Every structure is written in C-alpha cells, then in structure tokens.
Amino acid sequence: MRVLQVSAEIFPLLKTGGLADIAGALPQALAGVGCNVRALLPGFPAIGQVLQASRVVGEFRTPWGESVAVRLGQLAGVSGGAGPLSAYMLDAPGLFDRPGNPYEDAARRPYADNHRRFAALGWAAAHLAYGLDSDWTPQLVHCHDWHSALAPACLKLWPRPTPAAVPSLYTVHNLAYHGVFDASVFGELGLPPAAFAVDGLEFHGQVSFMKAGLYYADHISTVSPTYAREIQTPEQGCGLDGLLRARWDQLTGILNAVDEAVWDPAKDAHISHRYRPERLAGKALCKAALQGHSGLDQQADAPLFAMVSRITEQKGLPLLLAGVEEIVARGGQLLVLGSGDADLEQALQQQCQRHPGRVAVHLGYDEALAHRIFAGSDITLVPSLFEPCGLTQMYGLKYGSLPLVRGVGGLADTVTDADLATLEDQTATGFVFGPFTDAAYQHALRRAFALYRRPAAWARVRQTGMRQPLGWARAAQAYRALYQRMVAH
C-alpha cells in the first residue's frame, strides 16, 4: 500500500505540538505493517537543510501563477522503516524560507499569505496523486490538520479527467485550529466557485481549510475514540459538529501512541539515570537531579507534580494556577515547562517567586528537559479543558510519573482512575477528574497526596502504568485496516 502522508510538521525536524510526534512516528510504524509511506512537507528551512540526495521530480503552477518545484529526497533523522524516510518537499523559498515559527512572524502574527502557503501544499498533494512523479504514485493520501486540509478538496475537485480518483483520509489532531481566512482569498485557491458554499469549505462567510478537509476527505479520523464522539457535540464541535454528525459513519477514532524509540526510560539518552519497571533506583536519582537543576528543594519525599505543555487555557492553566497553594500547602512541589500565552506565563512566574524551592517554571521549548521532567517527576498534570488525545499523560505513564488528568478526549481513553475497585484489581494508572472546576481538580490533587502516602499502593499503580502497551503497533494496524477499506471502496 503506497501512502502519501501530508503534514506541516515532522518530529524531530520541526515541531510545535503533538502533530509532529505523530507525523514522525507513523511512517516507520506503518512500514512495520507493510505500508510504503512517503511524506510531503513544505520547504521550511528545518526540512530543506536535512533533505539529502534530493532531485526535482516535477513542477506545478499554483493558482496565483507561481511555479513550484517538488523535490524528492531522504529525510535524515526520520525513519521510514528500513532507512530514512523518503519525502517530497515543496521547493518554494518565497513561501517557506522564513526563520522561526512555521506559521507566525516574530511578532506572533499569522503570516498574511498562509492561505497560499498551505494551498500550495494541498495542490502539491493532488499533483503527486495524479502523476507528478511518474516513478511513484500514492494509492491514498493521508492529510494531517488544517495545513494540509485543502488536499482532499484539490483531489476531489481536480480539474482534469483522472485515470482513477485517489482517496484521502483527513486526520484531525485538534479541531480548535481551523485555518480560517477572509472570503476574499477564495479566488486564489484554484477551486471552482461552487466550493465556496455550505456544501463545501465556506464557514460563516469565510474560507475554512479545516472544513475543506472534513467535507471533501473520503474518510475522517481523529486521535482518540472519545474525541471522535465529543466533536460531534455542540460543546466540542467548534461549529462543525453538524457536519461531523452527518459524516459519523465515515469518522473513526484511532488512539495515538508513543514512539518508544524516543520515549523509553530504559534507553533515554536525555536522562541522567536510566531505569525500567523492575529496577526503579534510577528514577529517584533523576528526581534529585531534576530538583537540583530546577532550583527546587532536594527533598526525596516531596511529591513532585509536573506539567510539560503549551501554556494555554485549553491545557487547564487556570486550574493549575488556582491549585498551586493546594500543592505547596500539602508539602508538594510543582514544576512547569512550557510556553504560550504571555499573561499565563507571567502568572506562573509570580507563583514561582512566591514559593521559592517549591515551585519552578522553565519558559520556552526544551525537548531534552521534557524527558528529564517525565523521568524526575512523580505526577504528570494534564487538567485540560479538552484534549484530542494528549501525549504527555502517556509519557508520564511510561516514565512512572502518574498522570493526573481531566477525563476528556484521549485522556479518558488512556488513564484509569485510582479508586478502591481499580486499586484492588490493579488496573489503576493515575487520577481522573470530571468537571472543569477548581474543586474537582483540587480534589484529585488531594487523592494523589493520599495515595503518595501509601508507598506500596503507589508503587503498584506506577508499575501498572509503566507496563501499559502504548507503542505504535496497534495504531499502525488500525490505520492500515482503514486504508485498505478506503482503497477497496
């Protein structure tokens, strides 16, 4: 099965969130179940710098008249199975050769030509599907998030007769980020006028790339079964729940997984001491090292709560901030690594100043420190308002840092709350709370403290969590089965 994977990010080359982790891990996992995956990526500097032995396979003209070359090469540092991943890249410096964040300028404003940049990505996918590279044509195009969501529309509305339509799968990693543009850009997208309609990509008078993906893809998937249900409700549908309900029988939730080549405390080169479920001595040493590095009191028996996250409301920062006193008053410590909303970042820093030795904050993005935090902490906090899948709770499980999560989306699908029944049958893996309220969150904190004071029970829950099967094999099989159904259709 030949699959073209289209995304704007790919780990470890370019990452702003979980999408990159998935795009980086899926090709190798799919190779393991017999798929032949190639990536299609924008020519961001981080991609162009490592695309090796590349050659131009063809050129196409964008709807606004620019000629774009598509290169094929090997992506150093990203595994495609037997060797580095084969990737097509849009060689369009005018669109993509910009430093820093791939979507925003230095002042954090979205680039004014983002519609062109990601329309080019969508058209490139359709050109490849319909023969731009005569040596390799995909049987299916798998697109991720709004940046690649025009591809299903381009494939469906391709202006010339095609030998056989190539189906597309569109995976939603976060329905909250739509890629919405003013109606005036529609004329530059190269789509027939009829597409700018309710039955198309029009969304409240604007152009929505997300809606293009949801409307034109042959099948939609999202990253957990619970989120697949939640996005069909008005509360979590971001205005698209009606369309998602109408397509319920072409909507599948496939739970994300952990790339165990990157996230495994027994092999992790980022952490000071490696450990495994049956030999945990290294974890205590990682905790001491983390406390020392972060300016926290070096106290082995203080439960260390941690969060590695974008600093946004979605990630539950209001709950986290309101719960700081609860953690400190009970003798715990809090460590946050993240970046995002300036006001929330400032509020975190104030908490840090108020509680020296008990609260520490690292603002910024630091992949190595993230590993050290999961290894050194006792509890991983993910009190999200909504969460399509969430990865950090799974990293917490693998590293023996018990996840404390709100029971939404993929968090509900991956963490089993510690109550008397699940403690007894040894299925508990963490703490799950319901309402998005300070009271519910802080009650969960208190339950974590209570369990921490029972070391034998804590150790059992940690063992169960660390032994969860979180690798990609199961998800890869689910994707392959879905691809096969779509191609056979």
* Residues found near ligand ADP in the complex (CB under 6 A): 17-18, 21, 174, 308-310, 337-339, 365-367, 370, 389-392
- How far is the C-alpha of 163 from the C-alpha of 131, rounded, in Å? 10
Least distance to ligand ADP from the beta carbon of 381, Å? 12
Residue 38 C-beta: closest distance to ligand ADP, Å: 24
Smallest separation (angstroms) from ligand ADP to the CB of 103 = 14
Whole-angstrom Cα distance, residue 344 to residue 357? 20
Q: Taking the alpha carbons of 277, 255, 373, 422 in that order, is the dihedral positive or negative?
A: negative
Of 138 and 390, the one with the shorter C-beta distance to ligand ADP is: 390
Please tell me what DSSP assigns to residue 285.
H
Number of residues assigned to the chain: 489
For residue 84, cis peptide bond before it (omega within 30 degrees of 0): no
Report, in Å, the least distance between residue 278 CB and ligand ADP.
Answer: 25
Q: Which is nearer to ligand ADP, 103 or 186 (CB)?
A: 103
Give the nearest distance from C-beta 311 to ligand ADP in angstroms. Answer: 8
Considering the complex, what minimum distance in angstroms separates the CB of residue 368 from ligand ADP?
8
Q: Are 173 and 388 in contact (CB under 8 A)?
A: yes
Q: What is the largest CA-CA distance in the chain?
A: 69
User: Closest residue to ligand ADP, Cβ-based?
Assistant: 18
Of the two residues 10 and 153, which places its CB atom closer to ligand ADP in the complex? Answer: 10
CA pair distance 355, 330, nearest whole angstrom: 13
Cβ proximity to ligand ADP: between 303 and 316 the closer is 316
| Cβ–Cβ < 8 Å for 384, 408 | yes
Name the minimum Å distance from CB 372 to ligand ADP.
11
Q: In terms of CB distance, is 272 or 484 closer to ligand ADP?
A: 272
Close Cβ partners of 17 (under 8 Å, ≥ 6 residues apart): 9, 173, 174, 310
Instruction: Write down the least CB distance from residue 310 to ligand ADP, Å.
Output: 5
Report which DSSP code applies to 271.
S
- Nearest Cα neighbor of 37 from 64, 68, 10 is 10
Q: How far is the CB of 223 from ligand ADP (least distance, A)?
A: 8
Cβ proximity to ligand ADP: between 85 and 336 the closer is 336
Helix boundaries (H) for 254-358: 281-294, 317-322, 324-329, 342-354
Q: How far is the CB of 375 from ligand ADP (least distance, A)?
A: 12
- What are the structure tokens assigned to 128, written together? 């490849």
Phi (first) and psi of residue 129, to 5 degrees = -65, -35
Q: Nearer Cβ to ligand ADP, position 58 or 225?
A: 225
The token pair that represents 190 in the structure block: 């190269």
User: 132 or 381: whose CB is closer to ligand ADP?
Assistant: 381
Task: Confirm if 75 and 47 have CB atoms less than 8 A apart.
Answer: yes
How far, CA to CA in Å, does 446 sit from each of 325, 396, 404, 421? 12, 19, 11, 18
Query: For residues 451 and 290, what is the distance between their CA atoms, to the nearest angstrom?
Result: 22
Residue entry with tokens 């309402």: 435
**CB of 124 closer than 8 Å to CB of 60:** yes
The Cα–Cα gap between 364 and 340 comes to 8
Distance CA 123, CA 474 (A): 32
**Minimum CB–partner distance for residue 198 and ligand ADP (Å):** 29
**Cα angle 435, 364, 20; round to 5:** 75
Query: 15 vs 211, which CB is nearer to ligand ADP?
Result: 15
DSSP H or E run through 180: strand 180-181
Nearer to ligand ADP, 114 or 393 (CB): 393
Identify which of residues 85 and 307 has a Cβ nearer to ligand ADP in the complex. Answer: 307
Q: Give the nearer residue to ligand ADP in terms of CB position, either 218 or 378.
A: 378
CA–CA separation, 185 and 111 (whole Å): 14
Provide, rounded to whole angstroms, the least separation between the CB of residue 240 and ligand ADP: 18
